[in-house]
Amino acid sequence: MEHRSVELNQETVEAALRGIPLGGLRVFRTVGSTNDEALSWARQGAADLSLVVADEQTAGRGRLGRRWVTPHGVSLAISLILRDLPNAPATSRLVGLGALAVIEAGSSMGLHPIIKWPNDVLLSGRKVAGVLVEATWNGDRLEAAVVGIGVNILSGSVPPQAAIYPAVSIEEAMGRSVDRLLILRQLVASFVAWRPRLSTDEFLRAWESRLAFRQEDVRVARDGQPALTGTLQGLDDDGALLLQVEGALMRLPMGELSLRRADDRIE
């Protein structure tokens, strides 16, 4: 498919985000990782809700040390800086904040994305976006957090061999070409709107209501520990997963975990 995608640059992104109260905005044609740019900007004192956007990443990264591919012109790769946060566990809610913003952007286009806890967004069982939260600390004080969000927008954004999990783009899901800048606007607007409600029960319930596999059997692979199989119940206050394993309700904090439907053959 031939794509005519509007370039992401300081001017086009500024215009697309007009009226959304950001702390600052830096747009790059190419970077290693927007999370790295945001972390170094945060260390230099970037204001709360400063945003880094890149058209292309050459060293984008995902959870668990995985690569995240962001080719030129077809994806969204953004990182939002948050300051004045309470220490963990609030930081785990930030993963939910990023995922919920993607969900709402997708819903605004008539799609029905869901969250594969902790950080994947799925459309029809395939991965369309991922969230990576990183932080800078001053001793044991959280200085700033960075919420990195990558979304497959046009069909060229899906890696040819989507290694870990089958992937899809918004364009493929919609069956027509879509506007990256419009999706960016919806995404950032939703993020900014939820930000003041991060600690509320309303936020937690909104996040939880978009979880994939609720009341279904799932298998959770854990680094260095045996996998667990149980029924996915929901989230606790800290965004930890609640899993009914035989007679016990287990609480799994975010960490080196990955989740599959119990009967899923994907590894």
- Binding residues for ligand BTN, per CB under 6 A? 33-35, 57, 60-63, 66, 68, 70, 77-79, 119-120, 130-132, 148-150
User: Would you say 184 or 230 has its CB closer to ligand BTN?
Assistant: 184
Give the burial string for 224-256 (b: 16+ CB within 10 Å, else e): eeeebebbbbbbbeebbbbbeeeeeeeebebee
User: Would you say 2 or 267 has its CB closer to ligand BTN?
Assistant: 267
User: Would you say 60 or 230 has its CB closer to ligand BTN?
Assistant: 60
The least CB distance from residue 64 to ligand BTN, in Å, is: 7
User: Would you say 230 or 260 has its CB closer to ligand BTN?
Assistant: 260
What whole-number distance in Å separates Cα of residue 161 and Cα of residue 94? Answer: 29
Following DSSP, what letter does each residue of 114-178 receive, concatenated?
Answer: EEETTTEEEETTEEEEEEEEEEEEETTEEEEEEEEEEEE-SGGGS-TT--SS-B--HHHHHTS--
Question: In Å, how far are 90, 106, 181 from 168, measured between CA atoms?
Answer: 30, 13, 19
Following DSSP, what letter does each residue of 33-56 receive, concatenated?
Answer: -HHHHHHHHHHTTPPTTEEEEEEE
The least CB distance from residue 10 to ligand BTN, in Å, is: 18
User: Would you say 149 or 240 has its CB closer to ligand BTN?
Assistant: 149
The least CB distance from residue 254 to ligand BTN, in Å, is: 12
User: Would you say 33 or 169 has its CB closer to ligand BTN?
Assistant: 33
Quote the crossing angle between the two packed helices 180-194 and 90-107, to the nearest 10°. 140
The least CB distance from residue 63 to ligand BTN, in Å, is: 4
What whole-number distance in Å separates Cα of residue 105 and Cα of residue 99? Answer: 10
User: Would you say 62 or 253 has its CB closer to ligand BTN?
Assistant: 62
What whole-number distance in Å separates Cα of residue 239 and Cα of residue 137? Answer: 21
What whole-number distance in Å separates Cα of residue 245 and Cα of residue 2? Answer: 49
